[in-house]
Amino acid sequence: FFVPVYVSCNFSTANGFPSLSHARGLLADAVALVRREMPYWNRSAGADHVFVASHDFGACFHPMEDVAVADGIPEFLKKSILLQTFGVHGPHVCQEAEHVVIPPHVPPEVALELPEPEKARRDIFAFFRGKMEVHPKNISGRFYSK
């Protein structure tokens, strides 16, 4: 069962740092609603429910890796299936639930400008989705998750 809750990273904070502080509460409220109103969550504790976590460190919901690792995945999501744009080789706290790494959204107008992957000759493979600002409190880049 797909649970349509989209939690995006808020880059418009007063201090300029990315924020996902609303994510856990928003998802907890959604899970509480599904538990209360629909019978299917309770029969499997959410194991057959799918959520999207399309930001850095996926279902850990924090843009800084050290905090994301310390917080981990919320307990109420650990049995669910998580679609994440975050993925690493090897074990990682933010991938300790059933997960599928998915590509991020690319708008159709951008996709039309890109060469067909099978015909493109590339020797550099890189991806960046986010916002990196020069901010007086973020000169080191520590407050962006890479």
Query: Tens digit of pLDDT per residue, the chain (146 long)?
Result: 999 987 766 666 676 666 677 788 888 999 999 999 988 999 998 999 999 887 777 777 777 778 788 888 888 888 999 888 777 777 888 788 788 888 777 778 877 877 776 677 777 666 655 555 555 565 555 555 44
The angle at the Cα of 24, spanning 41 to 67, to the nearest 5 degrees, equals 130
Q: Which amino acid is at 33?
A: L
**Are 104 and 85 in contact, with CB atoms under 8 Å apart?**
yes
Q: How far apart are the first and last CA of the chain?
A: 32
CA distances from 31 to 8, 42, 75, 100 (A): 17, 10, 11, 20
